[in-house]
Amino acid sequence: MKSKFTVRRAGKSDYVIMACVGALILCGVLMVGSASFNLAKERFDDPYYFLKDHIFFGLGLGVAFFLLTSKLDYRLYEKVGILFLALTFVSLGLL
Protein backbone atom coordinates (compact mmCIF):
# COMPACT_ATOMS: atom_id res chain seq x y z
CA MET A 1 0.00 0.00 0.00
CA LYS A 2 1.37 3.36 -1.00
CA SER A 3 1.64 6.08 1.66
CA LYS A 4 -0.39 9.22 1.10
CA PHE A 5 2.18 11.34 2.94
CA THR A 6 5.12 12.81 1.08
CA VAL A 7 8.39 14.15 2.37
CA ARG A 8 9.05 17.82 1.67
CA ARG A 9 12.39 19.06 0.49
CA ALA A 10 14.34 21.19 2.95
CA GLY A 11 13.81 24.89 2.50
CA LYS A 12 10.43 24.57 0.79
CA SER A 13 7.70 26.55 2.49
CA ASP A 14 4.27 25.25 3.38
CA TYR A 15 1.99 27.90 1.93
CA VAL A 16 -1.19 26.50 3.46
CA ILE A 17 0.19 26.87 6.98
CA MET A 18 1.53 30.34 6.15
CA ALA A 19 -1.90 31.38 4.84
CA CYS A 20 -3.61 30.05 7.99
CA VAL A 21 -1.17 31.87 10.26
CA GLY A 22 -1.62 35.07 8.26
CA ALA A 23 -5.41 34.78 8.53
CA LEU A 24 -5.18 34.27 12.30
CA ILE A 25 -2.89 37.28 12.66
CA LEU A 26 -5.26 39.42 10.59
CA CYS A 27 -8.25 38.31 12.68
CA GLY A 28 -6.36 39.09 15.88
CA VAL A 29 -5.40 42.57 14.70
CA LEU A 30 -8.99 43.27 13.65
CA MET A 31 -10.30 42.07 17.02
CA VAL A 32 -7.89 44.25 18.97
CA GLY A 33 -8.74 47.24 16.80
CA SER A 34 -12.48 46.86 17.08
CA ALA A 35 -12.54 45.96 20.78
CA SER A 36 -10.33 48.83 21.94
CA PHE A 37 -11.43 51.65 19.64
CA ASN A 38 -13.73 53.49 22.10
CA LEU A 39 -11.54 52.98 25.16
CA ALA A 40 -8.45 54.30 23.37
CA LYS A 41 -10.38 57.32 22.13
CA GLU A 42 -11.58 58.15 25.66
CA ARG A 43 -8.29 57.60 27.49
CA PHE A 44 -5.65 58.64 24.98
CA ASP A 45 -7.57 60.76 22.46
CA ASP A 46 -6.27 58.42 19.79
CA PRO A 47 -8.72 55.71 18.68
CA TYR A 48 -5.90 53.58 17.25
CA TYR A 49 -3.59 53.72 20.28
CA PHE A 50 -4.01 50.07 21.31
CA LEU A 51 -3.99 48.90 17.70
CA LYS A 52 -0.66 50.62 17.01
CA ASP A 53 0.72 49.28 20.28
CA HIS A 54 -0.39 45.75 19.40
CA ILE A 55 1.07 45.92 15.91
CA PHE A 56 4.44 47.27 17.09
CA PHE A 57 4.99 45.30 20.29
CA GLY A 58 2.91 42.20 19.56
CA LEU A 59 3.51 41.60 15.89
CA GLY A 60 6.75 43.47 15.36
CA LEU A 61 8.65 41.90 18.21
CA GLY A 62 7.00 38.53 17.56
CA VAL A 63 8.10 38.48 13.92
CA ALA A 64 11.61 39.65 14.88
CA PHE A 65 11.88 36.86 17.48
CA PHE A 66 10.55 34.34 14.95
CA LEU A 67 13.14 35.36 12.36
CA LEU A 68 15.91 35.19 14.96
CA THR A 69 14.95 31.75 16.26
CA SER A 70 14.24 30.32 12.80
CA LYS A 71 17.94 30.66 11.98
CA LEU A 72 18.98 28.51 14.97
CA ASP A 73 19.68 24.82 14.56
CA TYR A 74 16.73 22.81 15.85
CA ARG A 75 19.03 20.45 17.75
CA LEU A 76 19.77 23.29 20.15
CA TYR A 77 16.16 23.13 21.31
CA GLU A 78 16.66 19.50 22.31
CA LYS A 79 19.45 20.54 24.66
CA VAL A 80 17.63 23.44 26.34
CA GLY A 81 14.08 22.09 26.07
CA ILE A 82 13.94 20.81 29.66
CA LEU A 83 15.16 24.19 30.92
CA PHE A 84 12.44 26.01 28.94
CA LEU A 85 9.83 23.58 30.28
CA ALA A 86 10.98 24.19 33.86
CA LEU A 87 10.89 27.97 33.32
CA THR A 88 7.38 27.64 31.94
CA PHE A 89 6.16 25.77 35.00
CA VAL A 90 7.86 28.25 37.35
CA SER A 91 6.26 31.16 35.49
CA LEU A 92 2.89 29.44 35.63
CA GLY A 93 3.33 28.86 39.37
CA LEU A 94 4.03 32.55 39.90
CA LEU A 95 0.63 33.43 38.46
**Dihedral sign computed on CA atoms, order 34, 35, 38, 44:** negative
Rounded to whole angstroms, the Cα distance separating 21 from 1 reads 34
Least confident of 42-56, 63-77, 81-95: 63-77
Instruction: Look at residue 75 in the predicted model and tell me its pLDDT.
Output: 87
Least confident of 24-28, 31-35, 72-76: 72-76
pLDDT reading at 2 higher than 70: no
- pLDDT tier for residue 11 given thresholds of 50, 70 and 90: low
Rounded to whole angstroms, the Cα distance separating 18 from 4 reads 22
- Overall average pLDDT of the 45-54 stretch: 93
